[in-house]
Structure 1
């Protein structure tokens, strides 16, 4: 049996015990309404009632059309095609979940809300069967969306293997869904904020927004949508972060260091400009270097420095640059045919010598990534005075870089902060390898809990606009990439 069905079968089994008796009672009540002398009508109704207790065995039957999850038919097959919901209180509870699913940051139209409402009062067998399939599909889909995200392709989710006791009261469905939500504190705080917003709204606005109808409360509607797309981002996270890690939220322009789950250092940061965005990814800091060289990225060397060098060869010594061949040997810059160099012909590299003039400042932190992104000090301290600090070529400049270097030396290496201070004082280049790597996570959240309160940040790269279009079906459904752009 498919993994998802094993879990769902266990979850639904006891619920069925509550649902089917209620449905049988309903059928019995209807049956007594027939006249005693109408034997043929009674026999016909008994036959119909028996049929109503089962789902069609044909996988192409109308009741299985246009469902979100491929798991629905196989689920019914695994239980001998018996209905799950019937007329039980659980069915009513599930319908209520669909109507209020926006409290999770999801949209009710994804879960057949219109069709459910149109057929729930129809007593025909086909309608009862269709309603049962719709509710099962809704629970499968909501469970997946809450756990892994709405914009990810719906898959048979191995997470559903978690053994969980079947529950039997109307509140159990919501309790079950709560177990499927991400456990990140950032997610939980956003969910709490979303609930609080709905709780403070007038009843009319609350119902309008839960139903996906434009509300008169424009500011609340805007914030709700912003929270919803940021909840979606949290659902893309694969697991909890380590107790010790570095957290960089690009729109917040901040670096936060955590130890044993508690914040130990917070620093302003400068991130990539909109045209050269800092990518989002995870890695681990392996080492840091005091008084580092800066190996100028080829894109900067060719796109920005080469035109200046062609105009004035003195640009090289004035900026403390060295010219290297492909073996790392230093070349005499004044003997090279600069006029022949271009984007397609640039057989050299540029390196800036160490020092306070260096673009990396006096310390850089290295972690493996395919984007050549660094976390580092800077020689342009004035950038930290700006409110909008999206001003770099993609690397992340840290205001408290030296303080962070001291922290790493004392807690993650065989060196001490006093030794690092000595290297800085004597302007000695020194690489400090960490005894254990420190995870670093670079993310993009425009609404986030900063440890004290919920804060909104600017959409510096326009990603909210793109994601909002995708989330509310005004654009193509594609998942936001975890990289720059």
Structure 2
């Protein structure tokens, strides 16, 4: 959507040949046909009609009303100045390039029709405001996304860092338009690499994809036959295997399969079993959809992440500490089970402290949904938990008739004292939030050996919680391990504040770029990306192919 230039207010509108040329060029750029220009010039005394029209058109938007009131209802897009022309051209280029950035195309047909019908300064005022609204729409879409996360899935509780529209528009008018529009996009290396992979996959689609899907259910070193040849060809097409004429599952193919498995969160045994073949046979269309979803997610988190921050990718079952853009610590994690309200939510917060030898205060939902029914059948069930009344006193179970309580009327809290068998293990990492989510140790160490690790009630369990603690504490003590172990050996619950709070980002990415090239893909374990992709398609985002 773009509107044509108009005269300076002290001149007849179409007095200059250069202005007419600009109008024709702009019309051609929008529709391929020239605008029908009003034959009669508009005199200077009609300026107030333009101003009144701008005020009326902007009245439905608080941002636009404040902006034009502050600038005296002067045009910023539709006069004949070089600056206005630069703004129009920059916005036109940005809007036309929206699909290349993973955004839905902008429908300009109605606005173009209205442009061709302009015959007065009142029409011109409406065009000015429509142009400003187009800028605001594009700026928000490219900067912080086209979707509102919470409307897609209940687990998407992320607070998107929306910018103040008035400031964005005001700053645009004071800046180099093209440079300003570029800076609206996320500046993260991940965003740039995702755009590069998007373009690559569009070329793959244009050339027909990665070839025939691989039949069968398992191939391993030493195998031969048609299925192995098809697997070889597909691995070559995806860039995992150099050109080869081998017809057997040789060492090179085994190495290629292992790399593929590592890039897709699979056990890297070099055997192409069912899980591996399922991922090998995923087409470029689905991978491109994952990229488009990842671009939208990257816009949702378009903000400073923190020089040091904790990055938990739920789909990757991992937790990392990032220092100045570099991973300095990484461990496996267990996330919420893919059932009801146990799915781990996505949000950002700040880690404030850790608790060594923690007490487990059983969440109310777990207490009444899981433990109360057990105790109604057997009052001594879950004997590792203390029954505590509203005044903090431990209650003797022998004096309680659990059958008289419901999930609503149950008056007690359940607590598990610090111990090696505590459900939280020996340390928890707190970023207080209303979702009661945190990172913690666990006595259930065997679960970290699983390929898919979704077993918790929603919190994030860490495989190496002590080392995680040492890495965090290293910023504030010269002997983090000694400090931690002294607190641990005391057996007493200890709260250790972090002198500098650390941002924590719980994210969900099924497509993640590798800094040195290539991509990693993960399964959409909660089905959230499928919902986001459906919503993006409803907005008009499409898969594109290039070439062919």
Task: Give the match's secondary structure for 1:227.
Answer: helix
1:102 to 82, 99, 108: 99
TM-score scaled to structure 1, two decimals?
Answer: 0.71
Q: 1:404 aligns to what?
A: 468
SS at match of 1:411: coil
Distance 2:164 2:353 in 1: 39
Residue in 2 that maps onto 1:162: 171
- Flag the 1:399–1:143 CA change in 2: closer, same or farther, 3 A: same
* 2:538 corresponding residue in structure 1: 473
Task: Report the count of equivalent residues.
Answer: 423
Tell me what 2:290 maps to.
Answer: 226
Q: Is the 8 A contact 2:19 2:80 kept in 1?
A: no
Report if the CA contact (8 A) 1:257-1:265 is conserved: yes
Which of 262, 280, 287 lines up with 2:346 in the alignment? Answer: 280
- Deviation of 1:261 (Å): 3.6
Which residue number in structure 2 is paired with residue 8 of structure 1?
none
Mapping of residues 73-88 of structure 1, within 5 Å: 74=68, 78-79=73-74, 83-84=78-79
Residue 99 of structure 1, CA deviation: 3.1
Aligned match of 2:434 in 367, 370, 384? 370
Asked if 1:394 is matched to 2:458, the reply is yes
Q: How far, CA to CA, are the matches of 2:43 and 2:289 in structure 1?
A: 46
Aligned to 2:309: 245
Partner of 1:462: 527
Q: Is the 8 A contact 2:306 2:502 kept in 1?
A: no
Q: Does the alignment pair 1:25 with 2:89?
A: no
Structure 2 residue corresponding to 1:114, chosen from 109, 112, 123:
109
SS at match of 2:312: strand
Is the contact made by 1:99 and 1:113 (CA closer than 8 Å) also made in structure 2?
no
Q: Secondary structure at the match of 2:187?
A: coil
Q: For residue 78 of structure 1, give the secondary structure of its aligned residue in structure 2.
A: coil
SS, match of residue 165 in structure 2: coil
Contact 2:77 2:131 in 1 (8 A): no
Query: Closer, same or farther in 2 for the Cα pair 1:336/1:284, shift >3 Å?
Result: same
The residue aligned with 1:188 is 192
Using the size of structure 2 for normalisation, the TM-score is 0.64
Residue pair 1:251, 1:446 contacting (<8 A) in 2 also: yes
CA contact (8 A) 2:331 2:464 kept: yes
Cα deviation, residue 347, structure 1 = 1.4
Residue 376 of structure 1: how far off its partner (Å):
0.4
Alignment correspondent of 1:39:
none
On the 8 A contact 2:64/2:166 being kept in 1, the answer is no
Q: Deviation at 1:165?
A: 6.0
Q: Is residue 311 from structure 1 mapped to residue 377 from structure 2 by the alignment?
A: yes
Give the Cα–Cα distance (whole angstroms) in 2 for the partners of residues 253 and 22 of structure 1.
66
Task: State the distance in 2 between where 1:365 and 1:264 align.
Answer: 18
Distance in 2, Cα, partners of 1:257 & 1:371: 22
For the aligned residue pairs, the C-alpha RMSD in angstroms reads 4.5
State the Cα deviation string for residues 253-285 of structure 1 (Å, max 9, x = none): 211112344211111111112321222232222
2:447 partner SS: helix
Q: Which residue of 2 aligns with 1:439?
A: 503
- 8 Å contact 1:250–1:443 — kept in the other structure? yes
Does structure 2 retain, via aligned residues, the 8 Å contact 1:413–1:433? Answer: no
SS of 2:370 mapped into structure 1: helix
Counterparts in 2 of 1:7-86, with a 5 A limit?
24-25=17-18, 27=20, 47-48=40-41, 57=50, 71=64, 74=68, 78-79=73-74, 83-84=78-79
For residues 89 and 79 of structure 1, do their structure 2 counterparts lie closer, same or farther at Cα, with a shift above 3 Å needed? closer
Partner of 1:5: none
- Give CA deviations for 1:425-483 in whole Å, capped at 9, x if unaligned: 675544333333222122233323355553233223322233233333379xxxxxxxx
Change beyond 3 A, Cα 1:85–1:231: farther
Instruction: Indicate the residue corresponding to 2:155 in structure 1.
Output: none
Per the alignment, residue 147 of structure 1 pairs with 143
Q: Please tell me whether residue 421 in structure 1 is matched to residue 485 in structure 2.
A: yes
Give SS of 1:440's match.
strand
SS at match of 2:375: helix
Counterparts of 2:437 and 2:411 in 1: how far apart (Å)? 23
CA contact (8 A) 1:183 1:240 kept: no
Matched, 1:356 2:420: yes
Q: Distance in 1 between matches of 2:387 and 2:478?
A: 34
Cα deviation code 1:24-55 (max 9, x no counterpart):
3364899xxxxxxxxxxxxx98625889x999
* Distance change in 2, residues 1:158/1:444 (3 Å): farther
Tell whether the 8 Å contact from 1:23 to 1:88 is kept in structure 2 after alignment: no
Write the mapping of 1:327-346 to structure 2, written as runs, cut at 5 A.
Answer: 327-346=391-410
CA contact (8 A) 1:407 1:417 kept: no
Worse-matched range after superposition: 349-358 or 413-422: 413-422
